[in-house]
Structure formats: structure tokens, C-alpha cells
A and B are shown apart, each in its own frame.
Chain A
Amino acid sequence: MKRQVPLLICGIAGAFMAVQYFIPACLPIYDRINDYMQIVRAFAIILGLASVIQRHYGRVRRSGPENKRHPDWVYSLAALVGLGVMLLAGAIGGREQGTLFQNLFNAILLPVQATMFSLLAFYLASAAFRAFRTRSLDATILLVAAVIVMIGRLDDGGAVKLPEIARMILNGPNLVAKRAIILGVGLGMASTALKVVMGIERSYLGSGKE
């Protein structure tokens, strides 16, 4: 029963979502299922929050035979404090412009995340210098195409029509490859969905035995 019931629910729900597209009378049920999905997602956030608190609290508190904290407990404490402060700031002070919540977001979270992403520029430059070698014909073609696109995207090299060539590379070979990948992924998703709905693919149920 532990496996049959979830398989049945999945099969019925999956088949309904495929069929409802063609039958307007199914709309009220379809709307209701969408609501359920949002509610499930909201609970997933609560679950994630509980998991984060549990994990970091476990690192902060003293435990084990030696009654010691985890070596990185300070970072966990920072995570917990950050979580608590943002929750309280949002719940008590509101989220409008000028509130503590929005100021913390603007002054800490925004620059921190932007900084993490901007580090890519440094790694990219270093990798370009060390790894982008013309070792083979394929690598040379890739390198030449990359240089043309980099210059063309700056609208430079107009005299030798580099912007047009860059556009041609993006809209020609790139598009062909992308479209092939998208079609492949789409067909793969459809076949996997079909296998899940029909109960052939059951790995989402876990490996537990009845």
C-alpha cells in the first residue's frame, strides 16, 4: 500500500494535468490543483527553514563526548542571527522603502551577492590566460568564434563587419545547436513524465521496501 497509493495519486494527477489542457470543463479542478501546488511549495519553504535552523543550531550548541562546538560554529551563529534579524525586521517593521528590512537588504544582501557573482570576472580572466589554448582545430575554431563575438558584442570592428559576423555566429550555429538541445531535452522530459505517470519510473518513491 505504501507504494501503490502514491503511484495511483501520481498517475491520476499526471493524467488529469495532461488531459485538462483539451477539456475546458476541467478548469475548476485545474485551478484547485494549482492552488494546492502553491500551498505545497509554501510548506516546502517552511520545511527548508526548519532544516536550516536545525543544521546550524546543531553546530552552535555544544555536543558529543567532549562537549565541544563545531569548529565553524561562528558562521552558523552568523547565519542564525541573520535569519532571525531579517525575520523580525520584516515582521515588525514592515518591508516598505526606508524600513530596517529593506535597508538591510540594500546594504548587506545585495552587495554580498553581487560581489560573489563578480568574482567570476577574475576567474574567467585567469582561466582564459591559462586554459584557452589552440591545441586542436576544434579549440582554434572555438577560440576564434569567441574572440569575434566578444569584439562584435562591443559593436567594434565595423570596418571588417565583426558585429555582423558575431550576430551571424549567434543566430546561426549557436541557434542550431541550442534548438537541437531544447528539442532533445523536451522529448526527454515528455518521455520521463510519461514513465512517471504510468508507474514505470518509480525512483521518486525512494528505495524503501513495503
Chain B
Amino acid sequence: MRLSQLMDWMLALDRRVIYTLVFVGVTFPFYVNWPPIRIDVSPEVEATYQVIDQLEPDSSPLLLSFDYDPAAAAELTPMAEAVLHHCFSKGIRVLVISLQYTGLGAGLANEIVPRIAQQYGRVQNEDWAFLGFQPNAVVAMLQMGESMRNTFPVDYYGTPYDEIPLLESIQNYAQIPVVLSLASTAVGEYWAVYAGSRYGLRVLTGVTAVYVADIQPFYQTGQISGVLGGLKGAAEYEKRIERPADGTNGMRSQKVIHYLIILFIVLGNIAFWSAKRRGE
């Protein structure tokens, strides 16, 4: 085959070939633990870890908000699991809510939080509680600044606010040291704008990789104290707590796919310039 024919073949490459390579590139690393990966903990993830690590055990809880739906679960669930492992292993209490507008975030929280709490023998409503979901994120954030009880009169399972021991001393944000919002939309920003600026609540966020660029300005100004960015952020947190899991495993696939896409870009451009030189 002549070079020009090869270039023509590449330009007309069937998309199914590309799809097959992507499929193999994503799935293969999960079965063979290859390629080797290097994970360096970034300052944003280190800051997040430090803020959570400094919370007192059996004291005021971390407010953990599941602000994402299953579409973003591949990136954000490893973060949620890593943070919960960190908290429950140290005895840090966790107060869980969801402000994801369709309510699907609540379903995710209901699957993840009790499962991990059980592994450490943490007791519901004493070491952790799940208050459920509110559809209007901004209003719920503002309401919680005045009264948590008014915002969530009952928890996700129907238990009245006043019957949950963990919430005995919690009136509003004044008794909450920090919130971590795991968000696939702009809700992470809203926490900084509405809860952080107005009520002085310390805000951490975990966002999908495509959202890192949007949230980074808030981290640089100090309006957000720490950022977990995409699957890599999850992998870095797992490294920090010395518990590699789905985030670390997923980074192998991500590595293969990143290089595959770069290869596609290079090959596509070689074929493009070759055709251009031949005057096509």
C-alpha cells in the first residue's frame, strides 16, 4: 500500500474502528491492572484532605452534599466513598443532604452512605444522618443558613428532625464547620456564593473534570477551600488516605484513553496535511 493510499484510508477510517479501540481501551485496564500510573497529590486535594482531617471526631459534622446524578457517578462516587472512608475511620460525623434538582443524588447517597457507615460500625442518626433532598438548591442553601430544621423537618426516612441525636445542637451553618459539595453542575459555585459569602460557611467541592476550569477561580480567591477535580481528584484523595479504590483503578483507563485520543489527533492531522499537500 502506498503512503498516499494509507493516508486516504486513515481519513476515511470507519468510526466503528475508533469506537472499538475506545471500548477496549476503557475496559482492558480494569482486568489487567495496566498501565502503571503515577498519582501526585495536588495542592487543591491536599487542602481538601487537611480541612476534613482537622475536624474533631464525635463533634460537629461534615456537611456532605450529594449534588450529582448517576451520569456523573463514575467520577464523583469514588470521591464520596474516599471521603466517607476518611471520615468514618477517624470518627468524624457526617451530615448528608442532596440538592441535586431531580432528586437522583438522594438515591446515590442512600446507596453509598449507609454501606460505608456499616463497614465502620457507625450508627445512623448518631454518627451520620441523611436529611434527604430539596429541589431548589439556592433557596435551600439560604434557608439552611437560618434554620436547618425548617429546611429539612424530617430526614430522608421520615424521622423528625428533633428525634435525631446528631442534630441536637445544630440550628444552622454556625454549628457546621465545613460543607463538601460533590457536584456535576453549578451547585458547587452556588455553595461558595450563597452559603460561603453570606453565612461564612467554609466550602469544599468535588466536581467532574470538565467543571474544574469553572470552579478553579473560586479556589484561587479562597472562596472555596479545596477542590477534588474529576476522577484524578478522587484518585489523589485515595492516595492521601492510603486506600486505593475505584478512582485509582479508573485512572488506568483514563490514561489509555488520553493517549489514544492524542494518537487519534496526531494521525488525523498527519492524514489531513498529507491530503492537503497532494492538493485534495
Contacts and interface: CB of A to CB of B under 8 A. Distances in A.
Interface of A: 21, 27, 30-31, 34-35, 37-38, 41-42, 44-45, 94-97, 102, 105-106, 109-114, 116-118, 121-122, 124-126, 128-130, 132-134, 143, 146-147, 150-151, 153-156, 158, 163, 167, 170-171, 174-175, 178-179, 182
A125 B260 contact: yes
Contacts of B209: 153
Given A133-B268, A133-B272, A175-B217, 9 more contacts: A34-B139, A42-B135, A44-B135, A106-B107, A129-B18, A154-B254, A167-B42, A170-B216, A178-B217
Q: Closest 5 A-B residue pairs measured CB to CB?
A: A117-B71, A113-B70, A129-B264, A41-B136, A105-B107
A131 to B, nearest CB: 8
29 contacts: A21-B198, A34-B139, A34-B146, A35-B143, A35-B150, A38-B139, A38-B140, A95-B110, A97-B115, A105-B110, A110-B73, A114-B70, A114-B71, A117-B71, A117-B72, A117-B74, A122-B18, A122-B19, A122-B22, A125-B21, A126-B18, A130-B268, A151-B258, A154-B251, A155-B39, A170-B216, A171-B216, A175-B216, A178-B213
B33 interface: no
B142 interface: yes
Contacts of A122: 18-19, 22-23
A109 B157 contact: no
A153 B210 CA distance: 12
A38 B18 CA distance: 47
Interface of B: 13, 15, 18-19, 21-23, 26, 37-40, 42, 69-74, 104, 107-108, 110-111, 114-115, 134-136, 139-140, 142-143, 146-147, 150-151, 156-157, 198, 209, 212-214, 216-217, 220, 232, 251, 254-255, 257-258, 260-262, 264-265, 267-269, 272-273
Given A34-B139, A38-B134, A147-B262, A106 B111 contact: yes
Contacts of B134: 38
Contacts of B42: 167
Contacts of A133: 268-269, 272
Interface of B: prevailing SS:
helix
A6 B229 CA distance: 43
Nearest to B189: A182
A111 B73 CA distance: 9
Contacts of B146: 27, 30-31, 34
A105 B264 contact: no
Contacts of A31: 143, 146-147, 150
A113 B72 CA distance: 9
Nearest to B70: A113
A45 B22 contact: no
B26 A171 contact: no
B269 A134 contact: yes
A95 B156 contact: yes
Contacts of B216: 170-171, 174-175, 178
Contacts of B265: 128-129, 132, 143, 146-147
B11 to A, nearest CB: 9
B74 A118 contact: yes
Contacts of A44: 135
Contacts of B139: 34, 37-38, 41
Contact of B111 (A105, A126, A143): A105
A150 B258 contact: yes
Contacts of A128: 261, 264-265, 268
Nearest to A28: B146
A32 to B, nearest CB: 10
B99 to A, nearest CB: 12
Contacts of B150: 31, 35
B39 A125 contact: no
B271 to A, nearest CB: 9
Nearest to B273: A134
Contacts of A124: 261
Given A117-B71, A132-B265, A171-B220, A155 B257 contact: no
Nearest to B212: A170
A148 B178 CA distance: 34
